[in-house]
Chains A and B, each alone.
Chain A
Amino acid sequence: MYKILKKEMLTPTICRMEVEAPRLAAAALPGQFLIVRADEKGERIPLTISDFDAKRGTVTIVTQQIGASSADIIAFEPGEAFADVVGPLGLPSEFVEMDPEQLGRMRYIFIAGGVGTAPVYPQAKWLHERGVAVDVIIGAKTKDLLIYKEEMAAVCDNLFICTDDGSEGFHGMVTALLEKLVADGRSYTQAVAIGPMIMMKFTTLTAKKLGLPITVSLNTLMVDGTGMCGACRVSVGGKTRFACVEGPEFDGYLVDFDEAMRRQGQYKAEEAEANEKHVCKIGRGK
């Protein structure tokens, strides 16, 4: 179980893997996530599902190397297997349950930041397959960090690229590009932003200015992912919600991003210590 069938480095630090998980693949829907535990001593790491194939019994995950645990996941090679993969977790995107007539009237703009581009893919694909209007913005710091360009172009009506340094596409942040698109006369009924917390915060502010409803997907801390630990608590509209079972997607207007960002960094001190001590397990012979 949980064997890695394919592995591909999309950038020097972002890795795509196709992993065997038949039950999960059969149940997954856009918007949901999963948890991987690389080996016996590993953390349970929540990751987005960037594709699923019920027939092959596989899910595709995209991991960015940030700390010790993500480095361990990336160190796995095809033929090896993770200790655990569990999911799908969280609620599917709202549109999955939407009445087809209402869905037909929707015009979506997805705003994808960095590694957050991966989970946008199954959402855009799901909508595009059903004939719903979908545009996508992919933003990254620089050209080399852009991922999923070709894949995304195949599942949306218009793909827009932007980089902070102007090395590819629009020169500027996703927020500036979103404003430009609307100024150019494009109109949307719903925005969806997935990316770093800070990017979702500012995209939400821009969307608010434009009067555009926005959904955000929160990548909070988690342990079990089933509502048991409460590490994922977020304030949404002044109420405490559990991102793992009531999310991960929420109405961006209502999310307390500043609190969410603080909570996300809760174990920074402990993680820094772990990274210092960490011995990479590449070529684990066990």
Chain B
Amino acid sequence: MANRIPRVPVREQDPKVRATNFEEVCYGYNKEEAMLEASRCLNCRNPRCISACPVGLQIPRFIAEVVAGNIAGAAAVIAEDSSLPAVCGRVCPQETQCEGSCVLGVKGEPVAIGKLERFVADYSRELEKPAAEKAEKKGKKVAVIGSGPAGLACASDLAKWGYDVTIFEALHKAGGVLEYGIPEFRLPKEKVLRHEIDAVRELGVKIETNVIVGRTITIDSLMDQEGFEAVFIGTGAGLPKFMNIPGENLCGVFSANEFLTRNNLMKAWREDYLTPIHAGKKVCVVGGGNVAMDAARTALRLGAEVHIVYRRTEAELPARREEVHHAKEEGIIFDLLTNPVEVIGDEKGWVKALKCIRMELGEPDESGRRSPVPIAGSEFEIPTETVIMALGTSPNPLISKTTKGLETTRRGCLVADEAGATTRPGVFAGGDAVTGAATVILAMGAGRTAAKAIDAYLKQK
């Protein structure tokens, strides 16, 4: 019988303290807290949480193991469907997925599924692991392009089924957006991410870094010369968007991608790493998504006063509520209903102010959100040293431009069917490269779906 207690709160680093360091914000549950929280699960006969999870995690089953105190057992249940539980437990938008469909959430607080997943992954990291059983080798090579969430999920499943899988990664470190995009204070790199990527390697997946498909090699050379029988493209959406307003190329205007890559992948925040980063005393981050929150909170930790400049109201912010809440707690200032019209520079070509116009909400647009309309004559300037554009990203055209037979949409996304098959036989795709910028877990789901399609394709071949 489920325990009718309120949701067990999770311990976090004090906002004032964490605003000055890059240590993780949330401490997570300990075993006692996790077992208590797990006891709230009703173990529904028809669990809606599973179908709300893009990778179909067996949530009530793993929670039942936590209730019984069998954490290794819980980890084994999760491992059936996810190779990145410590990542997903931290960065998934649970409030709109598993937890958003939890029956307990109708009248009260849903089970803290994300925090429980994270606990199981973190706790079992320290446990001795039984050697993964090796599937019988199929003797067929599959290439996976990109080592982000989609690629890792696809590669893991294929390796479990006995395929010889090589991931090709353009950067010097595996992980894709988990490595270059999401900051240390949300996803610790060495402790958490490295460990999960190593676990993928232990399944037999090879990862070759510093290989840019479309430049160093091509899909044709992989299939014709290197003997790969199928290819999965999980290259994400890496190209930053800008506003195309005057002054955007002034010194001190950065894409969120650049700012975050310098800090996360290149570890610019650490004294002993050589890559420089520029935040200055005051930073304006333009945009309201998770990436905007990440860039803002990073700039804050580098010592700046940080403003989020967003053209709609708080209700429309696309970022996770938890991220907005954390950002506010840490002292990020939100300039809402505000839209930049020009970046103003000084005589040396550096940013001096961001000229904005006040907005009001008008009629709902196609997405159902009320669209912002500028208020005539309301222009004003926000003095600032740095402007970070966090307006979203689009897929990189490197592969589509260098591969014959791969169709793309008008927005540059790869055309793929529901199973992940592209317009070229043997080539599959999934994640942001197909959908445009979305979430880690959707990309993982797409990677797993494509893995099934690749398996079916190769069995038939």
Interface residues of B in 222-270 (CB under 8 A from A): 238-240, 242, 244, 248-249, 251-252, 254-255, 257-258, 261-262, 265-267
Q: Is B20 an interface residue (CB 8 A)?
A: no
Q: Which residues of B contact A182 (CB under 8 A)?
A: none
Task: Report which A residues bind B (CB closer than 8 A).
Answer: 23-24, 27, 37, 41-44, 68-69, 72, 83-89, 223-224, 226-231, 233-235, 240, 245, 259, 262-263, 265-267, 269-271, 274
Contact call B251/A23, Cβ cutoff below 8 A: no
List 6 A-B residue pairs with CB atoms under 8 Å apart, sorted by A's residue number.
Answer: A43-B275, A84-B209, A223-B265, A230-B254, A245-B398, A269-B278
Q: Which residue of the partner chain, among B210, B211, B238, B248, contacts A227 with CB atoms under 8 Å?
A: B238
Asked whether A259 and B261 contact (CB < 8 A) given A42-B274, A228-B238, the answer is no
Q: Is B276 an interface residue (CB 8 A)?
A: yes
Size of chain B's interface in residues, with CB distance under 8 A? 40
Contact call A86/B242, Cβ cutoff below 8 A: no
| Measured CA separation A249–B215 after assembly (Å) | 16
Asked whether A259 and B249 contact (CB < 8 A) given A27-B215, A227-B398, A229-B257, the answer is yes
Q: Which residues of B contact A266 (CB under 8 A)?
A: 251-252, 278
| Measured CA separation A233–B249 after assembly (Å) | 7
Q: Which residues of A contact B255 (CB under 8 A)?
A: 229-230
| Measured CA separation A234–B266 after assembly (Å) | 23
Q: Is B341 an interface residue (CB 8 A)?
A: no
Q: Which residue of the partner chain, among B171, B212, B276, contacts A270 with CB atoms under 8 Å?
A: B276
Asked whether A226 and B274 contact (CB < 8 A) given A23-B217, A235-B249, the answer is no
Least Cβ–Cβ distance between A8 and chain B, in angstroms: 25
Task: Report which B residues bind A (CB closer than 8 A).
Answer: 170-172, 180, 209-212, 215-217, 238-240, 242, 244, 248-249, 251-252, 254-255, 257-258, 261-262, 265-267, 272-278, 348-349, 396, 398
Q: Which residues of B contact A83 (CB under 8 A)?
A: 172
Contact call A37/B238, Cβ cutoff below 8 A: no
Q: Which residue of the partner chain, among B238, B248, B273, B275, contacts A226 with CB atoms under 8 Å?
A: B238
Interface of A is mostly: mixed
Contact call A228/B261, Cβ cutoff below 8 A: yes
Contact call B276/A224, Cβ cutoff below 8 A: no
Least Cβ–Cβ distance between A193 and chain B, in angstroms: 22
Least Cβ–Cβ distance between B394 and chain A, in angstroms: 10
Contact call B396/A89, Cβ cutoff below 8 A: no
| Measured CA separation A251–B220 after assembly (Å) | 31
Contact call B257/A230, Cβ cutoff below 8 A: yes
Asked whether A224 and B261 contact (CB < 8 A) given A43-B274, A83-B172, the answer is yes
Contact call B210/A85, Cβ cutoff below 8 A: yes
